[in-house]
Amino acid sequence: MYAKPFEPSYEYACQCDRYDELASFQHEFYKKDGTIYLDGNSLGLLSKRAEKSLLTLLDSWKQSGIDGWTEGEHPWYFLSEQLGELSAPLIGATPEEVIVTGSTTTNLHQVVATFYEPKEGKTKILADELTFPSDIYALQSQIRLKGLDPAQHLVQVKSRDGRTLNEEDIIAAMTEDIALIVLPAVLYRSGQILNMKLLTEEAHKRGIHIGFDLCHSIGSIPHHFEEWDVDFAVWCNYKYLNAGPGGVGGLYVNKKHFNRLPGLAGWFGSRKDKQFDMEHELTPAEHAGAYQIGTPHVLSVAPLIGSLEIFKEAGIDRLRQKSLHITRYMINLINYELKDMDFILGNPLEDEKRGGHIYLEHKEAARICKALKANGVIPDFRAPNGIRLAPVALYNTYEEVWNAVRILKKIMVEEEYKQFENKREVVA
């Protein structure tokens, strides 16, 4: 699929682009001239198909009013289920196990409210110290709602190096007092992929339910949840899946749990033929749709229709193949061009442990990110000293990666970053 082994030349980058089987998809996206966008692990770019599907649903409101719930190309009433079916192959699940609804944090509240059942001697939730803060806030509040103290009942596995987690440490923390486990599939800073299969097996050996936050993995790496028997998962769709800012999230519940009443019930969790009976006794849907809470955010979910069409055509296995190759290429370029410039490469080097972005650490990271932006390269800063660079398989090219690393080298050699304050922006 790709050119011969790594060379640092511009010609090699162009050769890789010529061999790229996914090259045609970059033309599906709106890419600003003079800009190299490497922040798709934080907010993916708009595609033409996502724009079209958004305008289509806007028009259905315009033309049909309330009848848009049951009429038109994409009737709103069944949209969450249909998009769940399209999302299911990305995580290796069956269609009925996936629903597009809510946001990462509201969905996390839902699954924890459903699966966290503290009993005498088994009251704690196991998480980690490197996960995204919102997950910890949700877990803390769910513990408080049970009348317990998060300081005593939330266990966070420590990192040995401040960047990655060791699966052995996580397994060792699966003690008899753990009632539930919630972990990231891919760590948001370092991009480390956790061994979800192993961790699920070990949790189930101990009778513990386990779920994952897929925000930095879905659309970037394959998952095999049906095979692994994961209990639940939540994610956003606006990073690698390009659903737009604040796009509606996703939720997976293993079909073996469909008999569980949702911890947080709402009328859109009703069985469709019963929902408008307006009864005060919930008849839950017999699939993951039962875990919806409120009315679908139709206009916020609309871009995902077009985006998932692209993923269906590209295929997650091909996307992963390019992602591995282009991130490896970027790592090699960084090691070649930026040596002796005090950068620390913080992400795993092994293919099976590396997600879709590169993580660099530098004491001047905030300044460097501002200088990159001033030079047309869009990175992602993570306090206190992290630079995330995501060469996204669908729309980034090897030529862009080559140019971005050269620009970063120029910024460091000419000390351009010193004209900026080493302080994050309001939105980093």
295 is in an annotated binding site: yes
Length of the chain: 428
Nearest to 235 by CA among 379, 134, 335: 134
Please classify residue 69 by burial: count the beta carbons closer than 10 Å to its beta carbon, then call 0-12 exposed, 13-18 middle and 19+ buried: middle
133 is in an annotated binding site: yes
Phi then psi for 4, rounded to 5 degrees?
-60, 170
Q: Helices in 79-125 by DSSP H: which ranges?
A: 79-91, 104-115
105 is in an annotated binding site: yes
d(CA 96, CA 115): 19
d(CA 41, CA 59): 30
d(CA 259, CA 262): 9
216 is in an annotated binding site: yes
Q: Tell the residue number behind the tokens 């948001």, with chain if given.
A: 188
Q: Tell the residue number behind the tokens 């305008």, with chain if given.
A: 55
104 is in an annotated binding site: yes
134 is in an annotated binding site: yes
267 is in an annotated binding site: yes
Cβ-proximal residues to 253 (8 Å cutoff; 6+ apart), any chain: 97, 111, 114, 231, 232, 288, 290, 291
Q: Residues comprising the binding site for pyridoxal 5'-phosphate?
A: 104-105, 132-135, 213, 216, 238, 267, 295
Q: Residues comprising the binding site?
A: 104-105, 132-135, 213, 216, 238, 267, 295
